[in-house]
Amino acid sequence: MTKVKDIKFDIKIQNHIWFWGLYFLLNFFRWGAYFNDYEYSFKSNLIEFMLHIPLVYFNLFVLVPRLVLKSKYLQYSLALLASLGCVYILKTGLTYYIISKNIWPEANRDYQPFEINHILAVCIGELYVLAMASSIYLMLTWLKERERNRILTENQYKIKLEYLKTQIQPHFFFNTLNNLYALSLEDSEKVPDVIIKLSLLMEYVLYDIEGTKLTPLLKEFDYIQNYIEIEKLRFENATVFINLESNIDNINVPPLLLISLIENAFKHGGINNHELTIKINCKIINNTTLDFEIINNFVLSQNESSKRGIGLTNTKERLQLLYKNNYQLSHQIKFNFYIIRLQIPISNED
């Protein structure tokens, strides 16, 4: 699982350097070729970029978070105008005293400082650079933030999924320990068999599927078989048929997804120790769908008042997280038989 704390979302310093460097070269060659005076272009762009860069970062890291994000738009407008005024004074003064008395040669006539056209030209130029650089930075920041939110959502999904999986494990072990306790009170010779089966269940849960997204369906059936054997020790009158109608050698499923359906059949079918028959059908449909069906007999009047465990609720939540709406879970009662059927997309992932 990706750790959120290991992910860095800041735009690297070298990327800032690359941006300003390439932008400087573009302006240098553009205006140098325009006037055929590369020396002037280099000097003027050097002065401009010495002012562009602080203005852009002052806007991004001071004005925007302190004023725009707090809906102080009037204060932001005044601060931006003041910043542009400072930039104009510095640019004009540096150009006049360092480069040329002609502060705006691009206009093809001599301009004096603080003429309205020159002020507008400088301010519009600064706003253009400010808007372009800020747009690029904010777009990249938005993309990074979107990726961060995606990872956070994915991690929340994984945490929820792991929670549901770990929630169901103690549920089964609790039931099994109850079975073991009941048998021990009877001084039953079956206790050692139950302990062995329980150890196999715990080995599967604690080691075989730890941290795994999918597990081979064959291993899942081994786990199911051990669970059934434990339940059959408790319900001596239980008969379980497993019918595998397809080859499942290369099929993988989320671990512990199917077991709650079987647990439900024992829980509601084995009330008052009446004769219990469970049939499990498993097949692959069109090489795309795993069809898992459980049929068990039950007594309607008894089941109407029985409490519902966490198993099926847990299974439904996991199915929704894993497959969204790309699954089918249905159940029906027919002639005192309870039929539950699950269909999920098959996976051949390792």
Q: How many CA atoms lie within 13 A of 229 on its CB side?
A: 18
Question: Any idea what DSSP says for residue 271?
Answer: G
- Do residues 269 and 278 lie in contact, with contact meaning Cβ atoms separated by under 8 Å? yes
Domains of the chain, residue spans: 13-161, 171-300+307-345
E-assigned strands of the chain? 215-216, 238-244, 252-253, 276-285, 289-297, 328-334, 337-345
Beta-carbon neighbour count of residue 79 at 10 Å? 17
Residue-wise DSSP of 96-113: IIII-S-S-GGGTS---T
Three-state DSSP at 87 gives helix
- CATH fold, domain 171-300+307-345, is Heat Shock Protein 90 (3.30.565)
Tens digits of pLDDT across the chain (350 residues): 444 344 344 567 888 888 889 989 998 888 788 778 888 889 888 999 999 999 999 999 999 889 988 999 999 999 999 999 999 999 888 888 888 777 777 766 677 778 888 889 889 989 999 999 888 888 888 888 888 777 776 666 666 656 555 555 565 677 677 777 777 777 777 778 878 888 887 888 777 777 678 889 999 999 899 888 888 877 778 889 999 988 888 899 888 888 888 888 887 766 555 688 999 999 999 989 999 999 998 765 544 444 445 567 778 888 888 888 899 999 888 888 889 999 999 876 55
In the prediction, which pLDDT does 304 show?
A: 47
The residues, any chain, with a CB within 8 Å of residue 134's CB and separated by 6 or more, are 56, 59, 60, 64
